[in-house]
Amino acid sequence: MSKVPSVIHWFRLDLRIHDNLALRNAINEAENRKHLLRPIYVLDPNIKSKIGVNRLRFLIQSLQDLDTNLRKLNSRLYILKGNPVELLPKFFDQWQVKFLTTQVDIDPEIVDQEEAVEKIAEEKDVFIIKRVQHTVYDVYSVLKKNNGAVPLTYQKFMSLVNDIQVKEAKDISKVVSDYCKPTDEDLDAYDVPKLEEFVDESTLTPCKYPGGETEAIKRLNNYMAKKQWVCKFEKPNTSPNSIEPSTTVLSPYLSHGCLSPKLFYHKLKEAESGMKHSDPPVSLMGQLMWREFYYTAGAGTKNFDKMVGNPICMQIPWVKKEEYIKAWAEGKTGYPFVDAIMRQLKQEGWIHHLARHMVACFLTRGDLWVSWEEGAKIFEDYLLDYDWSLNAGNWMWLSASAFFYKYFRVYSPVAFGKKTDKEGLYIRKYVPELKKYPTAFIYEPWKAPKSIQNTAGCIIGEGYPHRIVDHEKIHKENMQKMSSAYRMNKEKKAMKRSIS
C-alpha cells in the first residue's frame, strides 16, 4: 500500500472532463499537496436489476469514454463496486484520503447517500468540496431569491434567473503531473467493466445513441453548426413521429452529465448572437430553461416524485390496473400511435417530447386513469435520459397534477399523430404487423373491414390487439372525474385555510 495520501474526485452524475470544476479542484489539490489523484465512480453491483438495459449500456459506454479521456490526461478512472456509504469509508482509510471533491445534486436518494458519506468524511478528517455543475444555475440560490418558495410557473422562474450571469464553461484538459499518478499493483481490479459482464449483448437492439462525453460534444457541435436551425427552433413545430429525431437528443448526455449544461447554454448564446432567433419557452434555449425550471421545483418540493405528501401535486383517485399498465408499457393498447411510441421507447431509449405527451396523457387523465407515478417508473426503466426531477415534473404536468391545469385538453391517439405523419410511416416502422394497412386505417385499424385486415395480413384481435378502451367515450368520463378531483382539492385547501 502506498504511503502517499490521496485526493478523490467522486464522479456521480457528471461523467465528463469539460466544465468539471470539482475535478479541476481535485487535480489542483493533488498537485499542490503532492498527493495521489484517484477519480472514482461507485457502481452498484446490482445495477442490472435497477435500470433498463439500454440505459445500462449508455452508462457503461459513458464510463469507458470517461476512462479513456482521463487516461489522455495521465490519470484513469477507478470503478469501485458496492454501496458508497459502506464502501467509501474503507477507501478513505486504505488510500489515506484527505480531500474529496464532487458535485451538487438534488435527487433525494443521491443526497441521502452523500450526506451519510459526508458525515463519515468529517469523522475521518476528509475535507469535501462540492460544485454546482449539473445545472446552469445554482437552484438553491434561485429558491433563496424567491424567499424559499418554489416558482410554480416557467415565467416566474425566468424572472428569477433573468439577471444572473452564467459563468463561462471551463475546459480542464490539463495533464496531471506524474507524481499524482497512483501505482497500485492491483490497478486492473478498478477497470471499467465490459457490458457483457451484465448482459448478453446479442440480445440488445442496435445502439442509436452511444454514451459518453466524446459523443456528446460531437452531437452538440453538429447541431450548433446549424445556426439557422438553432435560431428557427420552435418546439411545438417539431415532429413527435419523424423517423429521425426532430430535436437534438442531447438529453441522455445532459442527464448523465456527459455534456455540461453551461457549455450548451454558451454555445446557444453564441449561435443566437447577431441573429434573429426564437425565444423561450419554445426556443432551444427555452428547452434548456425547462430543465432548470424542473430542477428548481424538484429541489424545493418535498416528495416531488410522489403524489401523496407532495404539496404542489393534485390528489387524484387514480386506479392501479395492472393489465392496463402492462399493455401500455409493452405497446399493446390497440392504438397504433401510442403503441409505436412505447415500442420506440423500449427499443431505442428515446422518444420525442410530444410523443411523451401523447403516451403520458393516454395512461393518466386521457384514457387509462392510471397514476402518473406508474408511468414515471416505466419511463425510469426505459429512458436513456431518465432524470429524477425532469421525469416527475413532466409527468405531473401531463397528468394535470401540477404546473398545468387544462385537463380538458386531451390528446387524441388518432388525430394527434396524423398532423405530422399522415401516411403513418412511424407506425409502420415500430408496429410492423400493421405495415401493410392502407393509410385510411393505419391510425384506426379496428375500422378496417375484415377483407382489408385479411389482405393486410393482420386481423385485429389476433395479430394486433383490440383497443383497450374506447377513447371517444372514456376521455369524456375521465374529464368528469378530473373535474370532481379538482373540486375536492379546492375544498380541502379552503378547509385547511379556514382551520389555520
Q: How near is the Cβ of 480 to ligand FAD at its closest, in Å?
A: 23
Asked if residues 26 and 9 have their Cβ atoms less than 8 Å apart, the reply is yes
CB nearer to ligand FAD: pick between 134 and 356 = 356
Q: How near is the Cβ of 273 to ligand FAD at its closest, in Å?
A: 19
Q: How near is the Cβ of 55 to ligand FAD at its closest, in Å?
A: 10
Question: What distance lies between CA 105 and its chain's CA centroid?
Answer: 14
Q: How near is the Cβ of 208 to ligand FAD at its closest, in Å?
A: 13
CB nearer to ligand FAD: pick between 66 and 249 = 249
Write the CB contacts of 290 (distance below 8 Å, at least 6 apart in sequence): 154, 281
Number of Cα atoms under 13 Å in the Cβ half of residue 147: 0
Residue 443 CB coordination number (10 Å): 23
For residue 236, with 0-12 CB atoms within 10 Å meaning exposed, 13-18 middle and 19 or more buried, which class applies? Answer: exposed
CB nearer to ligand FAD: pick between 54 and 251 = 251
Question: Exposure string (b/e) for 23-49, b if CB count within 10 Å is 16 or more?
Answer: bbbbbebbbeeebbbbbbbbbeeeeee
CB nearer to ligand FAD: pick between 179 and 229 = 229
409: its cell numbers:
385538453
Asked if residues 182 and 32 have their Cβ atoms less than 8 Å apart, the reply is no
Closest residue by Cα to residue 433 from 338, 326, 336:
336
Distance CA 285, CA 264 (A): 9
Q: How near is the Cβ of 38 to ligand FAD at its closest, in Å?
A: 30
Q: How near is the Cβ of 289 to ligand FAD at its closest, in Å?
A: 8
CB nearer to ligand FAD: pick between 38 and 357 = 357
Asked if residues 346 and 249 have their Cβ atoms less than 8 Å apart, the reply is no
CB nearer to ligand FAD: pick between 192 and 398 = 398
Q: How near is the Cβ of 257 to ligand FAD at its closest, in Å?
A: 12
Distance CA 67, CA 441 (A): 51
Distance CA 401, CA 29 (A): 47
Helices (H) and strands (E) in the chain, counts: 20, 5
CB nearer to ligand FAD: pick between 75 and 391 = 391
The residues binding ligand FAD (CB under 6 A) are 235, 245, 247-251, 254-255, 287-288, 290-291, 294, 352-353, 356-357, 360, 379, 383, 385-387, 390-391, 394-395, 398
Q: How near is the Cβ of 433 to ligand FAD at its closest, in Å?
A: 26
Q: How near is the Cβ of 324 to ligand FAD at its closest, in Å?
A: 17
Asked if residues 395 and 376 have their Cβ atoms less than 8 Å apart, the reply is yes
CB nearer to ligand FAD: pick between 235 and 277 = 235
Q: How near is the Cβ of 245 to ligand FAD at its closest, in Å?
A: 6
297: its cell numbers:
421545483
Phi, psi of 137 (to 5 degrees): -110, 160
Torsion of CA 332, 336, 341, 345, to 10 degrees: 30
CB nearer to ligand FAD: pick between 241 and 248 = 248
Q: How near is the Cβ of 280 to ligand FAD at its closest, in Å?
A: 11
CB nearer to ligand FAD: pick between 95 and 403 = 403
Phi, psi of 75 (to 5 degrees): -130, -160
CB nearer to ligand FAD: pick between 76 and 291 = 291
